Structure 1
Amino acid sequence: MAADAHGTGGGGGHGFTAELSRRGPIAVVALSGELDHDGPQPLRDAIGQALAGGAARVLVDCTGLEFCDSTGLNTLLQGRLDALAAGSTLELAGIRPAVARLFEITGAGTLFTVHDTLPEEAG
């Protein structure tokens, strides 16, 4: 399925996109670029659309995510809460070392199911 939500963040030319696709009851949100204070809205929109579409599981593919600051982390944490409220889950996959460090420092990594790579059923 083609992307349902995407966009670019402003500031400094560091584009950010969040592309939503569906694989049955699983929604995959593929991130690319730098998720910072200039551009969390595409991620919010993609998670919102996935949940509104009844996704039983939202997998956030972070393999293309080059950077994430506290705004991005808060957006993911809010998405996790929104998913729980909708009876769904929000899981992360393919986190790069630089981004993983933010999750380690803050302890937020313990709140998510984190996969080394995108699970086969979502591929």
Structure 2
Amino acid sequence: MADSSVEVVPSLHCLVARVSGEMAQSTVPLFRARFRQLIVPPARVIVLDLAGVSFCDSAGLNVLLAARRQAHALGAVLRLAGVPEQLQQTFRRTGTDQVLRLYDSVIDAETAPCG
């Protein structure tokens, strides 16, 4: 659990958080709490950089979906960037890629038009 983290990184355009480690049942409380802290007004666009995520199970997927719901309820947009191929495959298999917005890089996510 100690190697899993969420770190806010500087950005001019939106709130960017670098997520790393395993997003699994044992780390869900950490991620849930951090995402709740980050997704608050006045944030309009939140980018989660998942390039450092080494593993994500169904509990991790649920945390990401909950973060999307929280952002949506506040009128904000949640974007995922740098999603590792293994996680992209999981998103495709589960249909999660139809709900979450995926971008190749943080820069792509930051500069994508809202809407």
TM-score bin, normalised by smaller chain: 0.7 to 0.9
Sequence identity (%): 28
Counterparts of 1:95-114 in structure 2, within 5 Å, are: 95-114=83-102
Provide structure 1 residue ranges, at least 5 long, that are not aligned to the other structure: 1-8
Q: Cα gap change, 1:121/1:68 in structure 2, threshold over 3 Å: closer, same or farther? A: closer
Indicate the RMSD between aligned Cα atoms, in angstroms.
2.1
Q: Which of these residues, 39, 42, 45, is aligned with residue 33 of structure 2?
A: 45
Deviation by residue 1:62-109 (Cα, 9 ceiling, x = unmatched): 111111000000000000000000110111001111111110110001
Q: Which amino acid aligns with 1:66?
A: S
1:77 to 41, 65, 79: 65
**Structure 2 stretches of 5 or more lacking a match?**
none
Give the whole-Å Cα distance in 2 for the aligned partners of 1:85 and 1:22. Answer: 25
> Equivalent residue for 1:36?
24
- Greater relative contact order (Cα 8 A, min sep 6): structure 1 or 2? 2
The TM-score, its normalising length taken from structure 2, stands at 0.85
Size of the alignment, in residue pairs? Answer: 111
Structure 2 SS opposite 1:119? helix
